[in-house]
């Protein structure tokens, strides 16, 4: 395999710096001396009579004279750091549910897993954000008299859509494309009739909570375009992290299931990462990106991804229980709730992403890293 199939570059927009890893395992390194050439718009590796080269994507220009720290790490390959001549193109503003839903437009809601229509031709008169889930706990700190909202409930009318951190509330109306599980608890599971995937919960007799990781919302005049499951989950979770970190300056999160269990502890490190990778390498095919695993169309044999970088700790089977308990009682940690099955999917995605990284980049302190992932 040539170098065009084996390099990874992690660029930080804020510092205009990059870590370049030329991914040759120890057994693959040529026996002859290796010469690495870093040009402004390309990378080259010469050994003996062979030369491997790869052009960088448009907008990524390096400053070759700034290269430093060249070293070989067993199992990783060759590492070096380099500065950029100019900042790479800014990342697109993350596409949020709040921006995608507008009043007085017709929408269709699809099951993300199978594409079955859940809600057809629904027009909203109001699309309103909900307060944070712990808002009622804070009322006592602000009010000098008994809680005036104690008996109030935020239930949408037929023309309303209320948006939470990881879900949206709709008036159930006469929708019959989903089924409910037996009334075994106050919030019953809402199931897709076709594929039996959990889509949300019934909050009251006329209100349904749909999770953002389970439903695709599109304008009625458009056509349904499916998205690979892992890509969709990554994209929606990344959007939640970015939006909450920006709005509330919180960077630590607990990922909880609808059963109340904590599945993952997640720490957002940065959101200004740009990954550049030759498509022959496997690492970014499960990268935790802000917009899913979508290659830039013009990138040719080299792919680019806008990414967020997170650290994580799994909490299943009583792992990291003490740390999870400490985070549970920390006001600086924000809980995010998803269906339990989706939490397990997310854990699998995180693990695969970590395993695909060079070994030296997989851990930070006691946390696992997901390159813009953890």
Lowest mean pLDDT among 3-7, 15-19, 35-39, 189-193: 3-7
- Tens-digit pLDDT profile for residues 65-111: 999 998 888 888 889 999 999 888 877 655 566 677 889 999 999 99
Which residue in the block uniquely carries the two structure tokens 């804020």? 14
What does the pLDDT average to over 311-331?
93
What does the pLDDT average to over 195-212?
93
Does the 1-89 domain belong in CATH 3.30.9.10? Answer: no
What does the pLDDT average to over 98-126?
90
Q: How confident is the model at residue 166 (pLDDT cuts 50, 70, 90)?
A: very high
Return mean pLDDT, the chain: 82
Q: How confident is the model at residue 2 (pLDDT cuts 50, 70, 90)?
A: very low
Is the pLDDT confidence value at 182 over 60? no
What are the start and end residues of each CATH 2.60.40.790 domain in the chain? 1-89
Q: What is the CATH number of domain 97-219?
A: 2.170.150
Strand order of the sheet with strand 50-55? 34-38, 42-47, 50-55
CA angle 191, 193, 195 (to 5 degrees): 85
Residues shown for the chain: 374
Sign of CA dihedral 131, 100, 228, 235: negative
Residue 185: per-residue pLDDT: 53
Residue 318, SS3?
Answer: helix
DSSP annotation of 319 reads T
Q: How confident is the model at residue 191 (pLDDT cuts 50, 70, 90)?
A: very high
**176: exposed, middle or buried (Cβ count in 10 Å: 0-12, 13-18, 19+):** exposed
CA dist 23 and 259 (Å) reads 42
Which residue in the block uniquely carries the two structure tokens 């499960």? 286
What are the start and end residues of each CATH 2.170.150 domain in the chain? 97-219
- Tens-digit pLDDT profile for residues 272-318: 899 888 755 444 443 444 333 433 333 457 778 888 889 999 999 88
CA 237 distance to own-chain centroid: 4
Q: How confident is the model at residue 222 (pLDDT cuts 50, 70, 90)?
A: confident
Residue 176: per-residue pLDDT: 52
Residue 118: per-residue pLDDT: 93
Q: How confident is the model at residue 139 (pLDDT cuts 50, 70, 90)?
A: low
DSSP annotation of 290 reads T
CA dist 357 and 367 (Å) reads 14
Give the alpha-carbon dihedral of 114, 115, 117, 118, to 10 degrees.
Answer: 50
């Amino acid at each position: 395999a040539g170098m065009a199939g084996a390099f990874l570059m992690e660029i930080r927009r804020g510092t205009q710096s990059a870590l370049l890893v030329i991914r040759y395992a120890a057994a693959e390194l040529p026996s002859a001396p290796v010469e690495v050439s870093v040009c402004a718009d390309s990378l080259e590796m010469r050994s003996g009579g062979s030369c491997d080269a790869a052009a960088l994507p448009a907008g990524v220009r390096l400053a070759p004279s700034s290269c430093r720290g060249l070293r070989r790490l067993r199992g990783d390959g060759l590492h070096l750091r380099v500065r950029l001549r100019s900042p790479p193109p800014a990342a697109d503003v993350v596409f949020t549910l709040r921006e995608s839903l507008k009043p007085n437009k017709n929408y269709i809601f699809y099951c993300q897993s199978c594409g079955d229509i859940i809600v057809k031709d629904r027009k909203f008169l109001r699309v309103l954000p909900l307060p944070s889930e712990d808002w009622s706990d804070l009322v006592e700190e602000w009010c000098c008299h008994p809680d005036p909202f104690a008996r109030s409930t935020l239930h949408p009318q037929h023309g309303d859509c209320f948006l939470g951190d990881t879900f949206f509330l709709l008036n159930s109306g006469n929708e019959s494309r989903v089924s409910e599980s037996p009334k075994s608890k106050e919030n019953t599971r809402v199931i897709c009739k076709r594929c039996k995937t959990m889509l949300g919960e019934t909050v009251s007799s006329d209100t349904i909570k749909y999770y953002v990781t389970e439903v695709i919302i599109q304008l009625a005049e458009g056509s349904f375009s499916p998205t690979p499951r892992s890509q969709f989950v990554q994209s929606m979770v990344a959007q939640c992290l970015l939006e909450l970190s920006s709005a509330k300056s919180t960077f630590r999160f607990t990922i909880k299931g609808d059963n109340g269990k904590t599945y993952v502890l997640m720490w957002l490190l940065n959101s200004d990462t740009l990954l550049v990778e030759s498509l022959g390498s496997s690492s970014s095919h499960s990268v935790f990106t802000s917009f899913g695993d979508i290659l830039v169309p013009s990138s040719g044999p080299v792919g680019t991804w806008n990414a967020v970088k997170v650290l994580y700790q799994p909490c299943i089977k009583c792992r990291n229980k003490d740390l999870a308990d400490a985070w549970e009682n920390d006001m600086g940690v924000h809980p995010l709730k998803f269906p339990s099955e989706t939490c397990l999917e997310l854990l699998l995605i995180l693990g695969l992403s970590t395993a695909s990284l060079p070994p030296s980049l997989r851990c930070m302190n006691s946390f696992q890293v997901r390159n813009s992932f953890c």
